[in-house]
Chain A
Amino acid sequence: MIGIIDYGMGNLFSVSKAMERLGVEYFVSEDRKELAGADALILPGVGSFKDAMERLNETGLSEMVKQYAGSGKPMLGICLGMQLLFAQSEENGLTDGLALLPGKVIRFSGEKAGTPYKVPHMGWNRLRFINKSPIISGISEDFVYFVHSYYVSTEERKVVIADCEYDVDVPAVVGKGNVYGMQFHPEKSGGLGMSLLQNFIQLAKERTIQS
């Protein structure tokens, strides 16, 4: 069973609908205990980093998410949910994140060598695979749908599984151990997005069979 974390910020509907399209059993919950029992967790999110962290901290969900990550069960942050996995963001003042992955979240500058780049980075951009990972197994590089004004900057290149080209190289799929993140919206990215979610679910299934 896939648990989708409801902390009042995410576009839970589209992620839930994607689970239904994949024929996967899921539940949406804000209950720490219930979520801790899930075979895999999805942390969705749209809105601002600061608001999201405040809610996660107030509800005790941030502690739960950290413990869950330590359990070895697969976890996936989507869009803002991915950014929350990192150490810090500069959105609306510096805010500490969940710090499960190394790096910080900064705003697009909006220009490169005098050429303006629109912010938000909005629309379909092509993934480029950088590091091997089970999350992209059997998948070819293709387009996915992005909408974001902040991006992850990290020194540790091995956590970046895929990126895309904008005014900077934008980390698009990240991962370390059992913790994954996608900056784009896989649930809105056509066939490729659905395949990525399928791979994530497969990780949960394999782990359940093993244990």
Chain B
Amino acid sequence: MLTKRIIPCLDVKEGRVVKGIQFVELRDAGDPVELARFYDQQGADELVFLDISASHEGRKTMVEVVNEVASELAIPFTVGGGINSLADMKRMLRAGADKVSLNTAAVLRPSLITEGASFFGAQCMVVAIDAKFDPELGSWRVYTHGGRKATDYEVIAWAKEAVRLGAGEILLTSMDCDGEKDGFDLALTRAVSEAVTVPVIASGGAGNAAHFVAAFRDGLADAALAASIFHYKETSVEEVKTFLKSEGVNVR
């Protein structure tokens, strides 16, 4: 049976992991490779690296980070942030990333998804969607530019369109739940998961192990992503997986 995936997300800026990571046992908690290894040992199924560098130099450093992670680790990982062209995708995939994630760039130029999918295969094209509920719309609206800009897209319509264009996976972040630690947005996750044929990663709102159970059972997510609860050691990948198993959710 295919297992549900737990995916820690690491924000990388100028080649260093940011967001105060509290691991006393690590020599250098800012080193992406060391953190990646730590999560791998804990049983993380995949990793996501989000490049939040603002500078060109920072982006170049990200390629080195990707190269190093791929050299050291035998688990799959996705790179997102600042990927705007086929050349950007190529750079990351050649450096050893397994998938690239497109967010704003895909909304601004949807054909980029198709270009990437036909060149590298749909399996490495992740489309990341930042979603926020809009009462007027009666549904969720797609936001871009790190959640700062509202678009005309409704989330489910955009998710379906992204898959039609060649997305192999949807990384779905709830802006309403993100940072609240009150659980994933189950209605949103379920709506998207039922609407598309590709796997959906639930993101935003993880606060404890039970939230992951709900994301899989009620949200019908195929994978769940979290950052701060793992980074701040509120729980560990290992604990989450043990709990999932005890609840009858299939994990590795």
Q: Which residues of A contact B (CB under 8 A)?
A: 11, 13-14, 17-18, 20-21, 46-48, 80, 110, 116, 118-126, 143, 145-149, 164-166, 185, 187-191, 193-194
Interface check B74, CB cutoff 8 A: yes
Please report whether the interface of chain A is mostly helix, strand, loop or mixed according to DSSP.
Answer: mixed
Q: Which residue of B lies closest to A116 (CB)?
A: B197
Binary contact track B187-200/A, C-beta < 8 Å → 1, others 0? 00000000001110
Contact, CB under 8 Å: B123 / A17: no
Q: Tell me which residues across on chain B come within 8 A of A123, comparing CB atoms.
A: 2-5, 45, 199, 222-223
Contact, CB under 8 Å: A188 / B3: no
Contact, CB under 8 Å: B76 / A145: yes
Which of B75, B119, B123 is A122 in contact with, Cβ under 8 Å? Answer: B123
For the complex, give the distance between the alpha carbons of A11 and B92 in Å: 11
Q: Tell me which residues across on chain A come within 8 A of B71, comparing CB atoms.
A: 17, 20-21
Contact, CB under 8 Å: B197 / A18: no
User: Given contacts A14-B70, A145-B76, is CB(A122)–CB(B94) below 8 Å?
Assistant: no
Q: Which residues of B contact A (CB under 8 A)?
A: 1-5, 40, 45, 70-71, 74-76, 93-96, 98, 118-124, 168-169, 197-199, 222-223, 252
Q: Tell me which residues across on chain B come within 8 A of A165, comparing CB atoms.
A: 1
Which of B74, B95, B121, B197 is A187 in contact with, Cβ under 8 Å? Answer: B74
Q: Which residue of A lies closest to B74 (CB)?
A: A190
Contact, CB under 8 Å: A147 / B74: no
Q: Which residue of B lies closest to A117 (CB)?
A: B2
For the complex, give the distance between the alpha carbons of A145 and B223 in Å: 14
Q: Tell me which residues across on chain B come within 8 A of A11, comparing CB atoms.
A: 93, 98
Contact, CB under 8 Å: A48 / B199: no
Residue of B74, B119, B168 most packed against chain A (CB within 10 A): B74
